[in-house]
Amino acid sequence: MSAHNPGTELDLSWISKMQVNQPAVLRRAQQVQARRPVKKEWQAAWLLKAVTFIDLTTLSGDDTYSNIQRLCYKAKYPIREDLLKALNMHDKGVTTAAVCVYPARVCDAVKALQAASCSIPVASVATGFPAGQTHLKTRLEEIRLAVEDGATEIDVVINRTLVLTGQWEALYDEVRQFRKACGKAHLKTILATGELGSLTNVYKASMIAMMAGSDFIKTSTGKETVNATFPVAIVMLRAIRDYFWKTGNKVGFKPAGGIRSAKDSLAWLSLVKEELGDEWLTPGLFRIGASTLLSDIERQIYHHVTGRYAAYHDLPMC
């Protein structure tokens, strides 16, 4: 993970004039998915790269130690060893970027990863995930406890009420406090863009979250009706670039929710490459929050290596 984003003083002039044109962004979103097809060995390499960006996630009410353990092992061995060997990639340390769980499961994940002698970071959602409708005090305490349990990345949700009512100072202060509570852990701020009402609000919330010191901004919790979409991503990426131009600090981007196919993941990579450039294509600055995506990527790699489509039982379950 790269250095922390120190944040800046709140400067509302950065957001006050901003207007995002939604139909134009929609058109751009449509184009960006069709303009950079990646084929053959490029596709294989890009897909393996995509694996290294994945925050392998399970956020279910019925999570227990056993499925967390399975998840952790899958994070360490995301692609069948023989497939990697065939691509001469077995020594590149292809693992997912992190595993992402609920706060109460952080201990399980840390334990499982230690048992696998693996240094993949554990990310925990926090602050009343997914709605964020709990008291600030308990939300802050949640962060502290997750960090104590060994989470090194905290995915917090912002308070949508503050965005929809235009209380940008209050939003800034809250995220600032999250930042402090995280200590050395990285702060990934979930904007829950499906509930922000407009792309202009998405831009403004992104900018406030970055000014308050988020290391990552993340599209959604995966629990809203609308999750990671390209138009929203374009607006967030543009905000990240504007913030970088103003402060010199690079903030990461994490789309999450609804990214299921290998083809989608390629489009996400090329979107980041087009809007921000190659520097952002590292696990330190780009993550994909997903659970089923990994198996589709593995399926595609299998096909690339063997020339056959895999049967369900050919690939280990997660």
Partner 1 sequence: MAATSAESRAREIFTTLEYGPAPESHACALAWLDTQDRCLSHYVNGKWLKPEHRNSVPCQDPITGENLASCLLAEAEDVATAAEAARTALEDWRGLPGASRAKHLTRLAKMIQKHQRLLWTLESLVTGRAVREVRDRDVPLAQQLLQYHAIQAHTQEEALAGWEPMGVVGLIMPPTFSFLEMMWRICPALAVGCTVVVLVPPASPTPLLLAQLAGELGQFPGILNVLSGPAALGPVLASQPGVQKVAFCGAVEEGRALRRTLAGVGPELGLALGTESLLLLTEAADVDSAVEGVVDAAWSDRSPGGLRLLIQESLWDETMRRLMVRMARLRGGRGLDGAVDMGARGAAAHDLAQLYVREARSQGAQVFQAGDVPLESPFFPPTLVSDLPPASPCTQAEVPWPLVVAAPFRTAKEALALANGTPRGGSASVWSERLGQALELGYGLRMGTVWINAHSLRDPAVPTGGCKESGSSWHGGPDGLYEYLRPLGTPARLPYLSEHLNYDTFGLAVPSTLPAGPETGPSPAPPYGLFVGGRFQAPGARSSRPIQDSHSKVHGYVAEGGAKDIRGAVEAAHQAAPGWVSQPPGARAALLWALAAALERREPTLVLGLERHGVEPKTAKAEVELSVRRLRAWGARAQAQSHSLQVAELRGPVLRLREPLGVLAIVCPDEWPLLAFVSLLAPALAYGNTVVLVPSGTCPIPALEVCQDMATLLPAGLVSVVTGDRDHLARCLALHQDVQALWYFGSAQGSQFVEWASAGNLKPVWVSRGCPRAWDQEAEGAGPELELRAARTKALWLPMGD
Which residues are catalytic, by number?
Answer: 218, 254
Beta-sheet strand order (sheet of 186-190): 252-254, 216-218, 186-190, 153-157, 122-126, 98-101, 54-57, 288-290
Angle CA(228)–CA(230)–CA(231) in degrees, nearest 5?
A: 110
For residues 51 and 94, the answer to whether their CB atoms sit within 8 Å is yes
- Residue 242 tokens, joined: 């504007």
Nearest distance in Å: CB 277, partner 1: 8
Select the residue interacting with partner 1 from 5, 7, 44, 95 (CB under 8 A): 44
269 binds partner 1 (CB under 8 A): yes
Q: Which stretch binds partner 1 (CB under 8 A): 81-89, 115-123, 186-194, 257-265?
A: 81-89
Neighbouring C-beta atoms of residue 85, cutoff 10 Å: 12
Residue given tokens 């962004």 in the structure block: 25
The smaller minimum CB distance to partner 1, of residues 11 and 169, is found at 11
CA distance 29 to 40: 24
Binders of partner 1 among residues 4 to 33 (CB under 8 A) are 19-28, 31
Q: Which stretch binds partner 1 (CB under 8 A): 88-96, 121-129, 142-150, 155-163?
A: 88-96
Select the residue interacting with partner 1 from 5, 7, 15, 48 (CB under 8 A): 48
Select the residue interacting with partner 1 from 1, 2, 8, 45 (CB under 8 A): 45
Nearest distance in Å: CB 29, partner 1: 10
The smaller minimum CB distance to partner 1, of residues 30 and 64, is found at 30
The smaller minimum CB distance to partner 1, of residues 68 and 196, is found at 196
Residue given tokens 């965005």 in the structure block: 163
Nearest distance in Å: CB 147, partner 1: 32
Amino acid at residue number 236:
M
Select the residue interacting with partner 1 from 7, 14, 46, 210 (CB under 8 A): 46
For residues 238 and 32, the answer to whether their CB atoms sit within 8 Å is no
Select the residue interacting with partner 1 from 223, 226, 274, 303 (CB under 8 A): 274
Helices (H), 212-292: 230-247, 262-275
Site string for partner 1, 212-241 (x = CB under 8 A): --------------------------x---
CA distance 296 to 277: 26
Phi, psi (rounded to 5 degrees) for 110: -60, -45
Contact residues for partner 1 (CB under 8 A)? 19-28, 31, 34-42, 44-46, 48-49, 86-89, 92, 198-199, 238, 269, 273-274, 277-278, 281
